[in-house]
Structure 1
Amino acid sequence: MKASVRLSVLWGDVGNALTAPFLKFRPYCCLDCRARLAKDKCSNGFPETRKYFRLRIILGIESSRSSAQTRTMPSIRTLKIFLSVARCGTFAAAGNKVGLTAAAIGLQIRTLESDLNVQLFDRNARAAVLNPVGRALIPEIEEIVRRYELLAVAAGGGEMSGTVVIGALVSALMGAFADALWSIRRQHPRLDVHLLAGMSSDFAHQVEVGELDAAVVTQSPHPLASTLLWTPLYSEPMILIMPTAPHFDLPPEQDEILRNAPFMRFDRSTWTGHLVQNVLDQCKVEVNEAMELNSVEAIVALVRQGFGISIVPKLANVDFDNDRAISVRSLDGVDVRRHVGLLERVKHSRTAFTGAIKSYFTAK
């Protein structure tokens, strides 16, 4: 047991205070001396420039148990907060993600540093930056959290529960992935899926830093980080779509259509945009650029209204063939498909969920 007593000594000579008999006890916390200059306006006999000290001594009687024996294990919640700060970059951003103030996040981090007896962040007036010690601990802490979360799956007899955060292309939600997600959700009603729509290139970074458990993305035209794993799920042919009631002359031949009709291009900086350019390269034509958009859905809507043509993936759940406003044409001499797959980290705690998605498409 620890007993403590607080003594406040207001005296002009700190040396006398430090030799006081009560200091024979061993302090276990702190000795805080604050000096101030004060003028003697009450004629109490001290010189005007005399230094006055406020001496606060915290004394305690320690038990015979060592600090190593009494050190507490950090909670899983604290470890998750540390990972959030490491991924978000600031206490404030991590606080917004987990629903705490920056001050509360800072307190959790200081507690973790105290428990581990190491400094994890270099602090200055503006920010707290993860130091080399903190960065080195990230894989170990991720593994602890991953193993802890796997206990819930084992305890539930294989039934998935909890929250999964997954990203998906809007076009994938219009395709086969929507069916897979609905099927898994019905089999595991305790599973809470948070679904974010966006772009493949953005999702790759979010999965890598742990903001997303996984994402459904197109195959990257660039090499992925070694910590990421991409598994193909399905593929879609690239097709030429044209309006049935165009506001322009529509030639009969494929090459003439591409050269002369207003072309609605998918954003060339995106992964699907790279595929569109691959198709045009194989066709060996230069198109009549009219507009560049980053949404397959917006492009299809504009083509329906007769404003142009486009090259897009043939989405699984969109019935292009029976759409009276659109004419679909296969591209002669072109062998380009959009491969859609599941992107995840090599090690993470939601392997049961990602495995279920992959199994769904393998069985089809």
Structure 2
Amino acid sequence: MSSIRFFRTFVAVARSGSFAAASERVSLTPAAVSLQMRALEDDLGLTLFDRSGKIVSLSESGHRLLPRAEQLLALYDDLRDGPDGDHEVVGSINVGAVATSMAFLARAVLILREAHPKLKVQPAINFSGDLSLRVRAGELDAALAVKNAHKLPAGTQWTPLYTEPFVFIANRQSAGRADIGGLMKRRLFLRPSRSTHTGALIDAFVRRNRLRFGEFLEINSLRTMVELVQQDVGITIVPLTRAARWEDDPRLRVTYFDDPTAHRAVGLFESEARSHLTSALRRVLLDTIEQDDQLRQ
């Protein structure tokens, strides 16, 4: 039977992206980390990692397990801190969020303030820039943001919260049933700025699927792009954000892609030095997502 330390090692590997980096965090050799992960996989009957390349990455089962493992460790740490698992969190944290996740963060902050009145949380919206680097630099204690393909900055940890699928959006009246390829070539392509993580991910997706387009316009705001499609200015490919209701809009034709890589991952970046405070926010975010998912079922 797997122990708590196996799950702690699993989370360390998931956050750092390699057995070698995780070994430093859990004070084990890389070989011992590998053995623990094999034992955990055998115990659970799951393949948690993709070991086909030089970089270890989570499998689909690994991604599903990670938030549950985070919750398990949080519950264990609460029990260890006191007989009833109830302890006061005192301090202050600055938390950033991308614009599309700000409402989700605000809900969590209200819950957190009620549960831990002595923990001061200052949320701030961010429209550009790499929030993970701001966490690493100490400008933010945590950030709710999009994960890119780069290695996690040293001194930070990452907890995936949810994914948002990429969708093709066109004006329903003018697009009719025309295929995506034809519309991409004929209409103005409204694309997220490639200087952003989302823009870079969508650009890679478009190139990977060999989607051709003619005239294009780069825009920083997802909401602005969708509003322009509503006005029949052009077409776009954007992530279907968690709070969006674009599929219910009679002016829009929303099409999903048959591609498991067509999504962006949104999660919480935390400063490891401040995780004793930001972990309270992490638990609230995970609980909120679980409750939302139960309501949607």
Map 1:169-208 onto structure 2 (within 5 A).
Answer: 169-174=98-103, 176-199=104-127, 201-208=129-136
**TM-score of the pair, normalised by structure 2:** 0.62
CA contact (8 A) 1:260 1:287 kept: yes
Q: Percent identity?
A: 29
CA drift at 1:181: 3.5
CA contact (8 A) 1:262 1:307 kept: yes
**Distance in 1 between residues matched to 2:136 and 2:246, nearest whole Å:** 35
CA contact (8 A) 1:255 1:283 kept: no
Q: Is residue 228 from structure 1 mapped to residue 156 from structure 2 by the alignment? A: yes
In our comparison, the structure showing a higher alpha carbon Rg is 1
2:100 partner letter? S
Deviations, residues 314-348 of structure 1 (Å, cap 9, x unaligned):
11111112112222111245631110010011221
**Distance in 1 between residues matched to 2:222 and 2:114, nearest whole Å:** 29
- Counterpart selection for 2:96 from 157, 167, 175: 167
**Distance in 2 between residues matched to 1:187 and 1:351, nearest whole Å:** 14
Q: Is residue 319 from structure 1 mapped to residue 245 from structure 2 by the alignment? A: yes
**Distance in 1 between residues matched to 2:179 and 2:102, nearest whole Å:** 33
1:192 partner letter? K
3-state SS in 1 of match to 2:136: helix
Task: State the superposition RMSD in angstroms.
Answer: 2.7
CA contact (8 A) 1:232 1:341 kept: yes
Deviations, residues 75-103 of structure 1 (Å, cap 9, x unaligned):
xxxxxxxxxxxxxxxxxxxxxxxxxxxxx
CA contact (8 A) 2:142 2:278 kept: no
Evaluate the alpha carbon distance shift between residue 224 and residue 352 of structure 1 in structure 2; reply closer, same or farther with a 3 A threshold: closer
1:337 is matched with 263
CA drift at 1:164: 2.3
Q: Is residue 350 from structure 1 mapped to residue 277 from structure 2 by the alignment? A: yes
Evaluate the alpha carbon distance shift between residue 186 and residue 326 of structure 1 in structure 2; reply closer, same or farther with a 3 A threshold: farther
CA drift at 1:192: 3.5
CA drift at 1:292: 0.4
**Distance in 1 between residues matched to 2:242 and 2:115, nearest whole Å:** 23
2:252 partner letter? I
Deviations, residues 49-74 of structure 1 (Å, cap 9, x unaligned):
xxxxxxxxxxxxxxxxxxxxxxxxxx
Deviations, residues 86-140 of structure 1 (Å, cap 9, x unaligned):
xxxxxxxxxxxxxxxxxxxxxxxxxxxxxxxxxxxxxxxxxxxxxxxxxxxxxxx
1:32 is matched with none
1:216 is matched with 144
**Distance in 1 between residues matched to 2:214 and 2:205, nearest whole Å:** 15
CA contact (8 A) 1:266 1:295 kept: yes
- Counterpart selection for 1:275 from 169, 179, 201: 201
**TM-score of the pair, normalised by structure 1:** 0.51
2:30 is matched with none
**Distance in 1 between residues matched to 2:278 and 2:267, nearest whole Å:** 15
CA drift at 1:163: 3.2
Question: Which structure is higher in RCO with an 8 Å CA cutoff and minimum separation 6?
Answer: 2
Q: Unpaired segments of 5 or more residues in structure 1?
A: 1-152
Evaluate the alpha carbon distance shift between residue 271 and residue 187 of structure 1 in structure 2; reply closer, same or farther with a 3 A threshold: same
CA drift at 1:215: 0.2
Evaluate the alpha carbon distance shift between residue 315 and residue 182 of structure 1 in structure 2; reply closer, same or farther with a 3 A threshold: farther
Map 1:288-327 onto structure 2 (within 5 A).
Answer: 288-327=214-253
Map 1:1-364 onto structure 2 (within 5 A).
Answer: 158-160=87-89, 162-174=91-103, 176-199=104-127, 201-246=129-174, 252-333=178-259, 335-348=261-274, 349-360=276-287, 363-364=290-291
2:171 partner letter? P
1:35 is matched with none
Q: Unpaired segments of 5 or more residues in structure 2?
A: 1-80, 292-297
3-state SS in 2 of match to 1:284: coil
Deviations, residues 25-54 of structure 1 (Å, cap 9, x unaligned):
xxxxxxxxxxxxxxxxxxxxxxxxxxxxxx
CA drift at 1:361: 5.2
2:137 partner letter? V
1:169 partner letter? V
**Distance in 2 between residues matched to 1:191 and 1:305, nearest whole Å:** 45
